[in-house]
Structure 1
Amino acid sequence: MPIGPTDPVPCRVTVCRDCCCGSPKVTGIDHAEQTARLGREAPVRVSACLDVCDQANVVVVQPSSAGRAAGAGPVWLGLVNDTDATEDIAAWVRAGGPGVAPLPDILELYAFTPRERRSRSAPPPGGVG
């Protein structure tokens, strides 16, 4: 099945742009251009804080429908703070992304598993909410 405009649900990219990601705290990258560049390859959603500030700038690549059918889940990429990394992500997304194209070795350096987030409405461990 061809990937890209003919895929019923293409890869989607989420970029964190809140307290740390996309802010002057992360220097050396044009955050607006990074978002625009990724948007030329896939739909991009700008998110509030994803709660992994130690990994700023965070980009999450969600699989296309073909990728999900192959069993892929979202791939979290952190410390995406230069144009080369952005270009590597754009090329991978263009190739099909998670579940369709293998994660390039260079992007393995950026991939991480986010820690489990506790629901804001859940009581604290061992306590009463």
Structure 2
Amino acid sequence: MPERPADKNAPTPDRAVPCRVVVCRDCCCGTAKVRGDHAAQTARLREIAPVRTSECLDLCEQANVIVVQPSAVGRAAGARPVWLGLVNDPDATEDIADWVRAGGPGVADRPGILDLYLIDPPRRVGTAIS
């Protein structure tokens, strides 16, 4: 069986789990409903960190939604995922990329400009079934 090429962002014994990014790409985010080059945005973020694509993060009114998840080091420092909405400008994508490259939540200070994009994650109310 041929060997799979190594993922440049994969954890290794000398490198902990890196900061990760989730991009929403479904009915609103990443579609013609929202301006912007969505493929370029995703590709740019993939140059910096592992990127996962979500079908829907339930915040369509905030499209495009991006979630920056802390690295293992960031989590150990108490960081939580940071939710960003209305990320429809290449400059905002670059600000996110710079922060992620620097280490992201819990490792590097978030650039103040990203405060403009901060949103609350959706609250999902579940019902217990007896």
Per the normalisation by structure 1, the TM-score is 0.86
| Aligned partner (choices 7, 27, 30) of residue 22 of structure 1 | 30
Name the CA distance, whole Å, in 2 between partners of 1:115 and 1:38: 23
Q: What secondary structure, in the 3-state scheme, does the structure 2 residue paired with 1:45 have?
A: strand
Q: What secondary structure, in the 3-state scheme, does the structure 2 residue paired with 1:93 have?
A: helix
Root-mean-square deviation over aligned CA pairs? 1.9
- Structure 2 segments unaligned to the other structure (5+ residues): 1-8
Give runs of ≥4 in structure 1 deviating > 2 Å: 4-7
Q: CA deviation at 1:118?
A: 2.4
> Which residues of 2 match residues 1-129 of structure 1 at below 5 A?
7-27=15-35, 29-119=36-126, 122=127
Q: What secondary structure, in the 3-state scheme, does the structure 2 residue paired with 1:61 have?
A: strand
2:117 counterpart letter in structure 1: Y
Per the normalisation by structure 2, the TM-score is 0.86
Q: CA deviation at 1:8?
A: 1.3
TM-superposition CA deviations, 1:68-126 (whole Å, max 9, x none): 0000010000000010000000000000000000111000110111231124xx37xxx
**Number of residue-to-residue matches in the alignment:** 119
Fraction of identical pairs, as percent? 69
Whether the aligned pair in 2 keeps the contact of 1:88 and 1:107 (CA below 8 Å) is yes
